[in-house]
């Protein structure tokens, strides 16, 4: 633990805006670098930096000085926020793609969006393939074939509770796998 970090965060909690400026001056470059590596776009990276410092200022008590240096905490926060932004973009792109497929006279999506959506779909397919068989089958039934988890449980002959917990485990694994993949590719 850095004593100065604990003091800075105590000052933030006391409403000392000078402390916020000090933390920004010391950590913003690292936070911005992490954000930019993940989102790969200057404007989106700036949004991430803003979110990170607003979160620190409005909830400094969430930082535990015993757990990690303040800079590390902010970088982890930046990575998490940046991945959220990437996922949101991917979801938006997927929605747009679905919408365009359903609307015959709709103009084709911009090439960048199409590439992003295809890339997101590829990453998701790869991640699903890496799941254990019992989880992969459930994800395919529930998410690719449009079944409810009850219908998926019946199709596989497992109790609903088991299907539910397997799906939860599968989604957690997918999140981890996708985070890892996105970071590697960034």
Contacting positions for other proteins (CB under 8 A): 2, 4-5, 7-8, 10-11, 13-30, 32-33, 36, 42, 46, 49-50, 53-54, 57-61, 70-71
- Least Å distance, CB 179 to other proteins, is 22
Residue 103 backbone phi and psi in degrees, to 5:
-105, 105
The number of CA neighbours under 13 Å toward the Cβ of 139 is 22
Between 4 and 162, name the residue whose CB sits nearer to other proteins. 4
Q: Which is nearer to other proteins, 12 or 153 (CB)?
A: 12
**Comparison of 81 and 166: residue with beta carbon closer to other proteins:** 81
Nearer to other proteins, 28 or 154 (CB): 28
The Cα 68–Cα 70 span in angstroms is 6
For the CB of residue 35, give the shortest distance to other proteins in the complex, in Å. 10
Helices (H), 14-110: 17-39, 42-58, 70-102
Are 73 and 114 within 8 A, CB to CB?
Answer: no
Where does residue 122 rank: exposed (0-12), middle (13-18), buried (19+ CB within 10 A)? exposed
For residue 186, the minimal CB distance to other proteins (Å) is: 14
């Amino acid at each position: 633990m850095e004593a100065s970090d604990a003091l800075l965060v105590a000052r933030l909690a006391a409403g000392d805006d000078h402390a916020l400026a000090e933390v920004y001056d010391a950590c913003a470059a690292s936070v911005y670098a992490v954000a930019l590596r993940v989102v790969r776009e200057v404007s989106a990276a700036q949004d991430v930096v803003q979110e990170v410092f607003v979160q620190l200022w409005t909830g400094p008590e969430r930082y535990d000085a015993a757990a990690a240096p303040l800079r590390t905490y902010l970088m982890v926060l930046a990575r998490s926020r940046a991945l959220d932004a990437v996922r949101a973009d991917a979801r938006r792109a997927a929605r747009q793609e679905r919408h365009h497929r359903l609307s015959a006279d709709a103009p084709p999506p911009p090439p960048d969006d199409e590439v992003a959506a295809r890339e997101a779909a590829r990453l998701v397919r790869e991640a699903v393939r890496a799941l254990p068989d019992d989880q992969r089958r459930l994800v395919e039934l529930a998410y690719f074939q449009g079944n409810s988890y009850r219908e998926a449980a019946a199709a596989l002959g497992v109790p609903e509770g088991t299907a539910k917990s397997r799906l939860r485990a599968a989604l957690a694994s997918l999140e981890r796998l996708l985070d890892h993949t996105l970071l590697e590719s960034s």
